[in-house]
């Protein structure tokens, strides 16, 4: 029994663990500068927004609601990722960013990590508008009151990055578990946050499908002169 568990763990997490271990062993904390910056920025926003003088400025630059004009929501979305939700413990957001962003930065590179994170966050933000337009009478609809809900935090980005990294490193069972957990979350508590997590996963799955299609199309194609491969590198 223990042997089969060990083989499963090596097959599921071996490549991912090896990449993370090698990155940390060779560079230490210098391997995750973007992640450390994100953790510090999240902690700073949490500290400031809990001050009498700081709450409104943080809302003005990083608070997104579906009732806001679209241009304003898009303008605030990049910083909204680092503004922790006031009704949740900040240590949870910090732990999510440190763990998932850190693994992704080592495995994918800084810019791809940011790109996937913002794609997932933007997918959730745009879904909120679509869901409210559909109304509560449909499976993917939302009540009109959700238009006033403050939509901030790294959770959608964390979920999206987890699914993307699992695909890249063929950790199929882990990726499936993340998706299943988000589905159960929506069934148990069908609120805006849970449905935005599913929207984030959907956005990342579209990205995965496009990249998989491009990579299949490039199989067997000779690299261009002066390059080692047509395929984009995993690390940036």
164-222 residue pLDDT tens? 999 999 999 999 999 999 999 999 988 899 999 999 999 999 999 999 998 887 775 55
Q: What is the pLDDT of residue 1?
A: 62
Lookup result for tokens 């693994």: 103
Residue 118 near residue 156 (C-beta atoms within 8 A): no
Joined together, the tokens standing for residue 170 give 């063929």
Joined together, the tokens standing for residue 181 give 């957990």
Q: Provide the CA 129 distance to its chain's centre, in angstroms.
A: 19
Burial class of residue 217 (count of CB atoms within 10 Å of its CB; 0-12, 13-18, 19+): exposed
Q: What is the pLDDT of residue 222?
A: 54
Residue 131 near residue 141 (C-beta atoms within 8 A): yes
* Helix locations, the chain, DSSP H: 2-27, 33-49, 55-62, 70-80, 90-96, 102-108, 110-134, 155-168, 172-188, 192-218
Q: What is the pLDDT of residue 5?
A: 86
Confidence band for 158, pLDDT divided at 50, 70 and 90? very high
Residue 197 near residue 182 (C-beta atoms within 8 A): yes
Q: What is the pLDDT of residue 95?
A: 95
Q: What is the pLDDT of residue 138?
A: 85
pLDDT tens sequence across 45-78 = 999 999 999 999 999 999 999 999 999 999 999 9
DSSP at 89:
-
Q: What is the pLDDT of residue 220?
A: 59
Average the pLDDT over 99-121 and give the result: 96
> Average pLDDT, whole number, for the chain?
90
Residue 32 near residue 20 (C-beta atoms within 8 A): no
d(CA 144, CA 134): 10
Joined together, the tokens standing for residue 6 give 């060990």
Joined together, the tokens standing for residue 113 give 């990590």
């Amino acid at each position: 029994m223990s042997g089969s568990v060990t083989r499963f763990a090596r097959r599921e997490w071996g490549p991912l663990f090896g990449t993370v271990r090698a990155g940390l062993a060779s560079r230490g904390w210098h391997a995750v500068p973007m992640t450390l910056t994100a953790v510090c920025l999240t902690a700073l926003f949490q500290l400031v927004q809990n001050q009498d003088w700081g709450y409104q400025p943080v809302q003005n630059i990083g608070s997104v609601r579906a009732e806001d004009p679209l241009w304003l929501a898009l303008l605030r979305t990049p910083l909204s990722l680092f503004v922790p939700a006031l009704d949740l413990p900040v240590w949870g957001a910090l732990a999510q960013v440190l763990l998932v962003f850190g693994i992704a930065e080592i495995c994918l590179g800084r810019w791809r990590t940011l790109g996937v994170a913002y794609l997932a966050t933007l997918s959730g933000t745009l879904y909120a508008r679509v869901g409210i337009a559909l109304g509560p009478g449909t499976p993917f609809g939302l009540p009109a009151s959700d238009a006033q809900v403050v939509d901030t935090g790294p959770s959608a980005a964390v979920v999206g990055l987890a699914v993307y990294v699992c695909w890249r490193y063929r950790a199929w069972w882990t990726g499936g578990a993340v998706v299943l957990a988000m589905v159960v979350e929506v069934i148990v508590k069908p609120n805006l946050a849970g449905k935005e997590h599913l929207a984030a996963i959907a956005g990342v799955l579209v990205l995965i499908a496009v990249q998989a299609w491009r990579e299949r199309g490039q199989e067997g194609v000779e690299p261009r002169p002066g390059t080692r491969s047509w395929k984009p590198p995993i690390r940036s």
